[in-house]
Amino acid sequence: MGIFNTLRISGSALTAERLRMDAISNNLANASSTRTAEGGPYQRQMPVFAPRVAPKPNTRGFRGAGVQVVGMQRDLSPARLVYEPSHPDANPEGYVAYPNVNVVTEMVDMIGATRAYEANITLINSTRNMALKALEIGRG
C-alpha cells in the first residue's frame, strides 16, 4: 500500500467522522424541539457509511479504499410522550411528543467519533513521519 493511499483512506475517514460529529451536534441541539417545518417533533439523524473502493487496482494490485457517506437516515423510533397539558404543542389528552434523542446515547456516540477522528490523525502523522524518515535515508 502506498503512502498516498494511506493518506486518502484516513482523509476519507476524517471527513466521515466530522459529518458524524455534525449529526450528533444537530441531534443534541434539537433534543427538545417539539415542532419542525415538516410537522411533529424532531427525529434523530444518523449518517450512513459505506466502503469506497477505487475503480481499478494500482500497479501493485491494490485497490485504494476508504469510507464514504451515502446519506443521512432518520431514526423512526416513536417520540417520547410527556404529560404537559399547558404546553402549546400538547395533544388533546395533554401529552407532548418530544424527539427520540437520548442525550446519553449521543454523548457516547460523540466520544466514539472523537476517538476515531484522533486515531486517523495519529495514522496520518505516523505516515508523514515514515515518509520523512525514508527521505532522510535517501539523503544519507
For 31-84, what is each residue's pLDDT tens digit?
999 999 888 899 999 999 998 876 666 656 556 688 999 999 999 999 999 999
pLDDT exceeds cutoff 90 at 140: no
The domain segmentation of the chain, as residue ranges, is 3-139
**Residue appearing with cell numbers 502506498:** 2
pLDDT exceeds cutoff 80 at 90: yes
Q: Coil, strand, or helix at residue 53? A: strand
Set of cell numbers at residue 21 = 460529529
Contact 82, 73 (CB under 8 A): no
Whole-number pLDDT of residue 47: 96
The mean per-residue pLDDT over the stretch 27-32 comes to 95
Share of residues in the chain with pLDDT > 90 (%) = 71
Whole-number pLDDT of residue 55: 66
pTM: 0.83
As a whole number of Å, the end-to-end CA separation of the chain is 25
